[in-house]
């Protein structure tokens, strides 16, 4: 850790507090303002709060002199040391950060979408100006990992894999389906009623939010702000109570997992539902919590668990970034423009859970196994239930390690068989440690 640098002749106690302006006075902004203004944080001084709607009632009340509606006033104010952007979206958030950086200020943001999509421009600008960006709050549930990266330096990047649950909404829905036997639609409705899901939950349940966080994490790991190419993203809409029931019988939990696996400088990245051993750290994660499991180069596995969202967890992550800046600590931030090399998804080797919907007649398993033999896919186990309707019978298989491209090609042929009654459901099985 780099210690704060204090000018000659001054004691740390007399070092001037950093003046902070907050742009965005919504739920998270209110939490940050409350901590800075009402509670008071040594070495930090709130000087301005900007929002386009200052009439809305909020839990914290500020004197009029603190308030404004034009972000340009604080981005250009020479008295402001740090600008905190909490409005979300791409614009004007990108302009706020860029203008503040160009005017010699450090910045803090919770904007994962912006960093995932435009981070190459923002980090490039910050590096060229020798300014700092705090972004712990962009993925609250694993912001402690950023601290570990700062402590470990380059050693943090020598790892085999990261498996992460990074979306509290999806984890809450899947946990409810598992615990109460509810279907996806019913579990989603409950999550919305309890405030764990937005009215439009698409970004959460379709894996977009997790993908944004994985892009930010990949930039940290690779030390590159170069735009990350496309990788597979699959959400949880197609996960059924049947799949969860069968997974439970097999000793697994179904989770939405962000995957980064590294081999010789090539990254295999994906977002998808996965079967994880129920007794593992990630497999046992309930409710709206986030978690990360990281396996180092020597096979040592470590994990982190934290609330996935919420006003105060996010606000506290912002405060930690502000204190790092105020106290002169080194901020973990990608500083290279080197391309990030992504491996082909077809070459990934995994185990698989497969649920077939097939005609209830003799010889069906033989037809499937014959196709699998042609693609060198070995079956680890089979569960065949009684027919749930006159139209089909569910057959569940798990495989040994198989190449993704081979598996997809085999399933394409299986789904064309006359005995197939519906598209085969594919869920990856991920290695996990208790």
Enumerate residues 6+ apart whose C-beta is below 8 A from 364.
Answer: 358, 395, 419
**CA distance linking residue 27 with residue 87, whole number of Å:** 10
Q: Are 227 and 120 in contact (CB under 8 A)?
A: yes
Enumerate residues 6+ apart whose C-beta is below 8 A from 337.
Answer: 120, 124, 224, 225, 226
Buried b (16+ CB within 10 A) or exposed e, 161-197: bbbbbbbbbbbbbbbbbbeeebebeebbebbbeeebb
Sign of the dihedral through C-alpha 89, 93, 94, 95: positive
Q: What is the CA radius of gyration of the chain?
A: 24
Q: Are 111 and 212 in contact (CB under 8 A)?
A: no
Question: Which of the following is catalytic: 18, 94, 105, 213?
Answer: 213
45 catalytic per annotation: no
What torsion, rounded to 10 degrees, do the Cα atoms 331, 332, 337, 338 define?
150
Q: Are 4 and 43 in contact (CB under 8 A)?
A: no
Catalytically active residues are 213
């Amino acid at each position: 850790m780099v210690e704060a640098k204090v000018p000659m002749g001054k004691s740390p106690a007399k070092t001037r507090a950093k003046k902070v302006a907050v742009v965005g006075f919504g739920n998270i902004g209110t939490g940050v303002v409350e901590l800075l203004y009402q509670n008071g944080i040594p070495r930090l001084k709130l000087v301005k709060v900007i929002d386009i709607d200052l009439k809305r009632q909020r839990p914290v009340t500020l004197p009029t002199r603190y308030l404004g509606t034009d972000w340009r006033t604080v981005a250009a104010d020479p008295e402001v040391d740090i600008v905190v952007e909490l409005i979300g979206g791409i614009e004007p958030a990108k302009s706020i950060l860029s203008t503040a950086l160009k005017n010699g200020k450090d910045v803090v943001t919770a904007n994962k979408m912006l960093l995932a999509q435009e981070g190459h421009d923002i980090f490039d600008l910050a590096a060229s100006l020798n300014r700092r960006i705090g972004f712990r709050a962009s993925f609250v549930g694993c912001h402690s990992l950023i601290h570990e990266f700062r402590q470990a330096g380059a050693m943090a990047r020598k790892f085999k894999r990261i498996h992460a649950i990074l979306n509290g909404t999806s984890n809450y829905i899947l946990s409810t389906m598992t615990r109460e036997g509810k279907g996806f639609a019913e579990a989603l409705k409950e999550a919305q009623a309890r405030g764990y899901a937005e009215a439009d939950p698409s970004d959460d349940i379709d894996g977009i939010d997790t993908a944004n966080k994985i892009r930010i994490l990949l930039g940290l790991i690779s030390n590159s702000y170069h735009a990350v190419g496309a990788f597979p993203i699959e959400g949880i809409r197609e996960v059924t109570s049947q799949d969860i029931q069968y997974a439970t019988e097999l000793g697994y939990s179904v989770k939405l997992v962000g995957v980064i696996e590294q081999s010789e400088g090539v990254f295999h990245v994906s977002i998808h539902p996965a079967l994880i051993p129920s007794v593992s750290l990630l497999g046992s994660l309930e409710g709206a919590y986030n978690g990360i499991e990281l396996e180092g180069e020597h096979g040592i596995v470590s994990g982190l668990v934290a609330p996935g969202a919420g006003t105060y967890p996010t606000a506290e992550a912002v405060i930690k970034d502000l204190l790092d800046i105020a106290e002169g600590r080194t901020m973990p931030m990608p500083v290279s423009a080197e391309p990030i090399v992504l491996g082909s998804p077809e070459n990934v080797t995994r185990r698989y859970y497969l649920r077939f919907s097939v005609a209830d007649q003799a010889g069906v398993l033989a037809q499937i196994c014959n196709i699998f033999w042609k693609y060198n896919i070995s079956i680890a186990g089979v569960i065949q239930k009684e027919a749930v309707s006159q139209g089909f019978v569910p057959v569940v298989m798990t495989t040994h390690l198989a190449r993704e491209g081979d598996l997809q090609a085999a399933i394409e042929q299986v789904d064309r068989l006359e005995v197939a009654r519906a598209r085969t459901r594919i869920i990856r099985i991920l290695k996990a440690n208790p």
